[in-house]
């Protein structure tokens, strides 16, 4: 085990112990009111999940949907979104492959807590050293979720478009309902390779002008490459800043880009905690707002009714503030 892996392991161990003590502290402080509201929605979700559990591990639709998660600008939340959407889809009962196309700078394994289990990658599959099934890392929590790292040590330019196409073809022939491809930052070769065999795209942006301009460029490139089914995920939204006119609203961002809205994810410090623990937000017992927003976006991907639709009803407090960016229906 490398020194870095050991550091990650010990950091994870300390997070695990601090989480149990902080949760008991939280109980003592009686932060029950907010949890109660969130849990109301979580309970609804749990019902859906329970129904879906029995459906896991089988291909549900007959065709595989290959969705590339991309952005243009780096660091806006592609990997966080891929991990959370993939996990949510698995919890909804779909069979999901997450492809880490950020070659050389892979992160998805860390976010999913699977970093110690990367033995083979897609490159070994292509070189005939192992079977696809051996390179797919099945999540222990949800066996219908699998991660496929493309490469452990190569640079982007070592992986050709043909390589990516072959990998995607192999995955499409396997038993997956969804393939989510976590794209590298930028619009160079890594991006072109990552989108080459996808039929759908999720463009992630933050409500900042630099990210929006890059998202616009990416949306154009996707269209030019024949990917017409494109949806927008606005990440790191802050209701307080929107209220003070310090941040563009989700509606403004969506109108600037002219791409249908898949969802909006609030800024949430729990994202950092969940990354450090290797547990996507959507696995938390008490979902935070960002976790709910990811679950909501996942349901919209499969065209299910938005389970947060009743947020249209007058609500008090934080739910009222975030109503606009959760309920994207009228923006589509």
Q: Which residues bind Mg ion (CB under 5 A)?
A: 78-79
- Please say which residue, 27 or 75, places its beta carbon nearer to ligand ATP: 75
Instruction: For residue 187, count other CB atoms closer than 10 A to its CB.
Output: 19
Considering only residues 99-118, where is the footprint of ligand ATP by CB under 6 A? 102, 107
Report the alpha-carbon angle 228-233-237, nearest 5.
Answer: 155
What Cα–Cα distance (Å) separates residue 87 from each residue in 230, 246, 332? 20, 32, 24
Q: Which of 11, 31, 58, 75 binds ligand ATP (CB under 6 A)?
A: 75
Choose between 133 and 188: whose C-beta lies nearer to Mg ion.
Answer: 188
Which one of 80, 121, 193, 205 is in contact with ligand ATP (CB under 6 A)?
80
101, interface contact from ligand ATP, Mg ion, none, CB < 5-8 Å by kind: none
Q: Six-digit token pair at 288? A: 């935070």
Q: Would you count residue 235 as binding ligand ATP (CB under 6 A)? A: yes
DSSP secondary structure of 262-300? EEEEE--THHHHHHHHT--GGG-SS--HHHHHHHHHHHH
User: d(Cα 328, Cα 47) in Å, to the nearest integer?
Assistant: 23
Q: Which of 57, 267, 273, 331 binds ligand ATP (CB under 6 A)?
A: 267
Neighbour tally for 251: CB within 10 Å: 17
Q: Of 144-152, 162-170, 222-230, 263-271, which part binds ligand ATP (CB under 6 A)?
A: 263-271
What is the Cα–Cα distance from 122 to 136, expressed in whole angstroms?
8
Cα dihedral 191/130/275/248 (nearest 10): 20
Q: Is the dihedral of CA 55, 60, 64, 68 positive or negative?
A: negative
- Say whether residue 271 binds ligand ATP (CB under 6 A): yes
> Which of ligand ATP, Mg ion, none interacts with 202 (beta carbon under 5 to 8 A by kind)?
none
Task: Tell the smallest beta-carbon distance from residue 314 to ligand ATP (Å).
Answer: 26
Q: Which C-beta is closer to Mg ion: that of 71 or that of 249?
A: 71
**Nearest residue (CB) to Mg ion, 159 versus 322:** 159
Name which position in 74, 229, 309, 329 contacts ligand ATP (CB under 6 A). 74
Give least dist CB 239 to ligand ATP, A: 13
Tokens of 84: 């959370």
- The C-alpha R_g of the chain, in whole angstroms, comes to 19
Residues in contact with ligand ATP by CB under 6 A are 71, 74-80, 102, 107, 185, 235-236, 265, 267-268, 271-272, 275, 290
């Amino acid at each position: 085990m490398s020194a870095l892996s050991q550091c990650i392991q010990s950091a994870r161990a300390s997070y695990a112990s601090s989480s149990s003590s902080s949760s008991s502290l939280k109980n003592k402080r009686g932060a029950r009111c907010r949890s109660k509201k969130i849990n109301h929605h979580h309970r609804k979700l749990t019902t859906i999940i329970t129904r879906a559990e029995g459906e896991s591990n089988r291909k549900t639709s007959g065709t595989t949907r290959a969705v590339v998660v991309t952005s243009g600008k780096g660091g806006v939340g592609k990997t966080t979104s891929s991990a959370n959407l993939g996990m949510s889809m698995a919890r909804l009962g779909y069979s999901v492959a997450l492809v880490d196309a950020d070659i050389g700078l892979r992160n998805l394994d860390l976010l999913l807590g699977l970093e110690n289990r990367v033995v083979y990658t897609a490159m070994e599959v292509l070189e005939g050293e192992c079977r696809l099934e051996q390179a797919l890392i099945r999540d222990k929590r949800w066996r219908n979720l699998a991660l496929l790292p493309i490469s452990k040590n190569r640079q982007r330019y070592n992986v050709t478009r043909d390589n990516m196409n072959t990998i995607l073809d192999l995955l499409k022939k396997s038993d997956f309902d969804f393939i989510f491809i976590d794209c590298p930052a930028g619009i160079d070769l890594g991006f072109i390779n990552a989108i080459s065999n996808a039929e759908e795209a999720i463009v992630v942006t933050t409500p900042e002008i630099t990210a929006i301009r890059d998202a616009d460029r990416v949306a154009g490139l996707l269209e030019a490459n024949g990917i017409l089914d494109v949806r927008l995920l606005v990440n790191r939204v802050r209701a307080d800043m929107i209220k003070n006119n310090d941040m563009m609203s989700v509606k403004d961002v969506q109108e600037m880009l002219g791409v249908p809205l898949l969802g909006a994810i609030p800024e949430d410090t729990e994202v950092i905690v969940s990354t450090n623990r290797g547990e996507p937000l959507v696995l938390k017992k008490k979902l935070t707002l960002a976790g709910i927003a990811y679950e909501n976006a996942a349901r919209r991907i499969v065209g299910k009714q938005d389970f947060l639709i009743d947020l249209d009803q007058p609500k008090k407090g934080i739910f009222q503030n975030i109503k606009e960016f959760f309920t994207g229906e009228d923006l589509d």
